[in-house]
Amino acid sequence: MVTEKGQVGQSESGTREIALLVRLAWVAGKRGEFEAYERAAAAILADYGGSITLAFRPEAEPDVEWHMVTFPDAAAFAAYRQDERVAGLKGQRDAVIIATNITVGQITLQPYTTEK
């Protein structure tokens, strides 16, 4: 849930939503395989209320993608990580993704704009 001021707040159940800023690097030349893995993982994310809300590919890093991923709460993220289907994708993931960095936090939309 996003409040009027753009701050991510509590979900309807009263728990705090979380956001993950994820940097993924894949094996050069395996962009198609990376995208196939991400589609499979995103389908599982959705079962836990999660979503990849933004994907960004920096021009200076052709084999890197940044994701903003959101979950309704930390428990949903933990349950996603324990899902057997995620474990089942490990071989596919290991063949393509060479580095992952995850930062957990909260989203504020347009935090530095001035109100008129």
Residue 22 lies in a domain: no
Q: What is the CATH number of the domain that holds 37?
A: 3.30.70
> Does residue 97 lie in a domain region?
yes
Contact between 23 and 101 (Cβ < 8 Å): yes
pLDDT, tens digit, 9 for 90 and up, residues 63-111: 999 999 999 999 999 999 999 999 999 999 999 999 999 999 988 777 7
The string of pLDDT tens digits covering residues 16-71 is 799 999 999 999 999 999 999 999 999 999 999 999 999 999 999 999 999 999 99
* 110 φ/ψ sector (left φ>0, alpha ψ -120 to 50, else beta): left
Look at the chain and report how many structural domains it folds into.
1
Residue 12 to residues 2, 18, 103, 106, 108, Cα–Cα distance (Å):
11, 14, 24, 17, 18
Tell me if 112 is assigned to some domain: no
| Global model pTM greater than 0.85 | no
Structural domain includes residue 61? yes
